[in-house]
Chains A and B, each alone.
Chain A
Amino acid sequence: MSPNLRVSVWRGTTDGGFSTYEVPRQASQTVLDVVTYIQRRLEPSLSYRFSCRVGMCGSCAMTVNGVARWTCRTHVSKVVDGDSLEIAPLSNLPVIKDLATDMGEFFDKWARAKGRFRGARTRHDAFARVEPDSPERAAANAGIECIGCAVCYASCDVVAWRPDYLGPAALNRAWTLVNDVRDTDQHDRLRAVAGDAGCHACHTQGSCSERCPKAIEPTAGISGLKRMAARRAMRGEL
C-alpha cells in the first residue's frame, strides 16, 4: 500500500474539472480530513463546507468515489479504491465553487412541503400529552433524526429527472409532521406533498434509504404519504 493517497478533487463550478493531489495516509483518517489537508497544505483556494465534524450538522456531504456521503464520518479506508479517492460536489444541486453546493432549492422544498410545525397551543396551555408508544409517534420518531445533509436528495434519480420533485428529505420531514398529533396544518400539508412534484412521483427505488447516513428510510415515509393522500383523495377530502 502506498503511503500516499491520490485524491482527485473537483475544481470550478458546473464547468470545471478534477485536480489531483497527493495526500499522506493516516490511521482513522476521514474524507473530511483529506479535504482539509488539501486546503490547508496544498490548495488554499479550495472551497468546501463543514462545521461540526461529528455527524450532527449535515453540512459536509460530498460525492466520494461516485457515492454521496457525509465526509466527516466516512473513513478513507472504507471507501478508497486502491490509492484513489475522487471527491466531487453533491449531485442535483448547483455548484457554487469546488465542493460547495447551493442548498437553497433543497431547503426551499422543505418549506414547499410545509415542513414547519404549527400547533394550536400557546405557552399558557398545558403540555400536550403524546403517548410514546403510539403508532403515530413511532412513525415520527423513525424519521425525526434527519440532519438535512442532502445525501438522499443527491442520490435520488427522480430529483434528477424532475427538478421540481420535492425530494426524499422534504417528504420525510412532512411525514414526521403528518404523524405529529399536535400539528394543525395537516390538510394543507397533504395537498402540498401529493401529486406530480410530490410523493406520487417517487419510484420506490430506495436510493435515499440506502444512502442516508442516519439510517432513516424516507422511502417508507413517502409510501405512507402516498397511501394517506390517495385515501383522502378517494374520499374527496384532498
Chain B
Amino acid sequence: MSAAATQARLWYWQRISAMMLALFVVVHLATIVYAVRGGLSGAEILARTQDNWWVAAFYGAFVIACAVHVPIGLARIAEEWLGWSGRASNAGAVLIALALAVLGFRAVYAVVA
C-alpha cells in the first residue's frame, strides 16, 4: 500500500473515531450529570456497573475509539510541531495506542468484573 493510501486510511479512521467519540462523550457526561444529582459514592457506582454488560460494551467501544483517535492526532502534532520523522511518529503512535488500549480495558474490567 502506498504512503498516500495509508494516510488516507488513517484520516478515515480518525474521522470515524471522532464521530464515535462525539456520541460517547455526550452520553458519558449526560450519564454522570444524571447519576450524581443527589451525590454518589464509589460503592454505589460499582454496584451499578458490576456485571453490567451494557457498561462494558459502551466503555469498551469508547476505549477503542480513543486508542484509534488519539495516537493519529498526536503523530501529526509530533511531525508538524516537533519535526519528528514519519517513522518515529508512527512508532510513537503505535505505543500510545497500545498503552491507551491496555489502560482503558483494564479500567473497564475493574468497574465491570
Binding site for B on A (CB under 8 A): 158, 161-162, 191-192, 194-196, 198, 200, 226, 229-230, 232-234, 238
Closest A residue, CB atoms, query B86: A196
Contact A238 B11 (CB under 8 A): no
- Interface size classification for chain B: 10 to 19
Contact B9 A234 (CB under 8 A): yes
Contact for A200 among B2, B11, B80, CB less than 8 A: B11
Binding site for A on B (CB under 8 A): 2-12, 15, 79-81, 86
Bound-state Cα–Cα, A158 to B4, Å: 18
Chain A residues with Cβ below 8 Å from B79 are 162, 196
Contact B3 A238 (CB under 8 A): no
Contact A194 B4 (CB under 8 A): yes
Bound-state Cα–Cα, A232 to B2, Å: 12
Closest B residue, CB atoms, query A192: B4
Bound-state Cα–Cα, A233 to B8, Å: 6
**Dominant secondary structure at the B interface:** helix
Closest A residue, CB atoms, query B10: A200
Contact B8 A238 (CB under 8 A): yes
Chain A residues with Cβ below 8 Å from B11 are 200, 226, 229-230
Bound-state Cα–Cα, A118 to B73, Å: 36
Closest A residue, CB atoms, query B80: A161
Contact B8 A229 (CB under 8 A): yes
Subset of 29 A-B contacts with CB under 8 Å? A158-B80, A161-B80, A191-B2, A191-B5, A194-B4, A195-B2, A195-B6, A195-B7, A196-B3, A196-B4, A196-B7, A196-B79, A196-B86, A198-B4, A198-B7, A200-B11, A226-B8, A226-B11, A229-B8, A230-B9, A230-B11, A230-B12, A230-B15, A232-B8, A233-B6, A234-B8, A238-B4, A238-B5, A238-B8
Chain B residues with Cβ below 8 Å from A234 are 8-9, 12
- With A194-B7, A196-B3, A229-B4 as known contacts, state yes or no: A161 contacts B12, CB within 8 Å: no
